[in-house]
Amino acid sequence: MASELEYYHTPVLLKEVIELLITDKNGIYVDGTIGGGGHSEKILEALGEKGKLYGFDKDIEAIEYCKEKFKIELEKGGNSRLELFNECFSKACSITRHRGEWTGFLLDLGVSSRQLDESRRGFSYRRVGPLDLRFSPHGTKAEDLINAASEEDLAALLRKYGEEPFAKKIANAIVRQRKLTPIKTTVDLAKIVEGVVPRRILTKSLSRVFQAIRIAINDELNVLEKALQSTLACLAKGGRIVVISYHSLEDRIVKNFLRNNSMQRNRKEATIVPKLKILTPKPIMPCEEEIKSNPRSRSAKLRAAERIA
């Protein structure tokens, strides 16, 4: 296991996350997508003896990995500053709210490098593997969706979650192919896309198609909206929320949530007081040096806000 700990996922915008998130070294923090623990490692380094960090992840492999990575900290028992939960981040508030208000909440959305590089999870069209795409071993597999959904539903899914311009043609090709033989692997699906999309945009289309199916399978956008809304009940006054997104659909949800909760609005019966102060009028993005050392960070956008009421 030790050799595996050398690499899991390079944390994105690490310095910026810590600077924005940590305001009290003895506060309560939540890493809603702990993954390989890259951000959590630096959070723990910044915390004092009375600080607390709750780490969440739907992926049991990420939790098992972090149990080994943070073994020394976890072995402190009741004095450990870290507690891990194999749960979706949308449940973080309901699980921890009785333990005290949060000083900071971090979400690093998307797929980890480890998930992308593992063929058996089917997250990447670049790897030969089963069409799974689930973050946890529960729920509908991508294979089931691809082989059962109607052509109209498939096209709508690819347009909504992938913003794919060839959605209708790809959906039609999927339905035609599955009449001949079930679509079971990443290669099966990639070949279908290759057959209808112009070569010049093939890579982008493949990314969009796999993204759309992954989002649908894991209900990612609804989960994100639910999680963001729940933070308002758990975040202490002065507490920070920091979110890193990797595509426009996620970023739009985050941006709208922060904007809607940072504006004073008047209604007939009352004035709605702003709950958040935006700390990033424009999203923070990786510098050229970070993108060069970690190309997968290039699409990252960080937004942050502070609880004010």
32 and 166, same domain (yes or no):
no
103 and 229, same domain (yes or no):
yes
pLDDT at position 268 is: 60
Question: pLDDT at residue 71 above 80?
Answer: yes
Question: pLDDT at residue 8 above 80?
Answer: no
Average pLDDT rounded to a whole number, residues 40-53 = 98
pLDDT at position 153 is: 98
Its domain, for residue 241, covers 4-108+221-307
211 and 233, same domain (yes or no):
no
Question: pLDDT at residue 193 above 50?
Answer: yes
Pairing of strands 265-266, 82-85: unpaired
- 91-117 burial string, b = 16+ CB within 10 Å, else e? bbbeebeeeebbbbbbbbbbbbebbbe
C-alpha to C-alpha distance for 193 and 36, rounded to whole angstroms: 32
Record the pTM.
Answer: 0.90
Question: pLDDT at residue 4 above 80?
Answer: no
DSSP H stretches of helix in 219-283: 220-234, 248-260
292 and 227, same domain (yes or no):
yes
Contact assessment for residue 59 and residue 37, using Cβ atoms and an 8 Å cutoff: no
103 and 248, same domain (yes or no):
yes
Return all residues near 79 (Cβ < 8 A) that are at least 6 apart.
none
214 and 240, same domain (yes or no):
no
Query: Quick one: pLDDT band at residue 266, thresholds 50, 70, 90?
Result: low
90 and 228, same domain (yes or no):
yes
Contact assessment for residue 102 and residue 231, using Cβ atoms and an 8 Å cutoff: yes
Q: Report the percent of the chain where pLDDT is more than 90.
A: 83
pLDDT at position 179 is: 97
Query: What CATH number has the domain bearing residue 228?
Result: 3.40.50.150
Residue ranges with strand state E in the chain: 28-31, 52-56, 82-85, 102-108, 235-245, 265-266, 271-272, 276-278, 301-307
Contact assessment for residue 277 and residue 308, using Cβ atoms and an 8 Å cutoff: yes
Lowest mean pLDDT among 6-20, 248-262, 281-295: 6-20
62 and 95, same domain (yes or no):
yes
Query: What CATH number has the domain bearing residue 128?
Result: 1.10.150.170
8 and 104, same domain (yes or no):
yes
91 and 148, same domain (yes or no):
no
Backbone torsions φ then ψ of 306, nearest 5 degrees: -125, 140
pLDDT at position 1 is: 38
Element (H, E) at 81: none
For residue 248, the one-letter residue type is: S
Query: Quick one: pLDDT band at residue 309, thresholds 50, 70, 90?
Result: confident
Question: pLDDT at residue 271 above 80?
Answer: no
- 165: tokens are 């311009």
User: pLDDT, tens digit, for every residue of 138-171?
Assistant: 889 999 999 999 999 999 999 999 999 999 999 9
pLDDT at position 264 is: 67
248 and 266, same domain (yes or no):
yes
> Could you give the number of structural domains in the chain?
2
Pairing of strands 276-278, 301-307: antiparallel
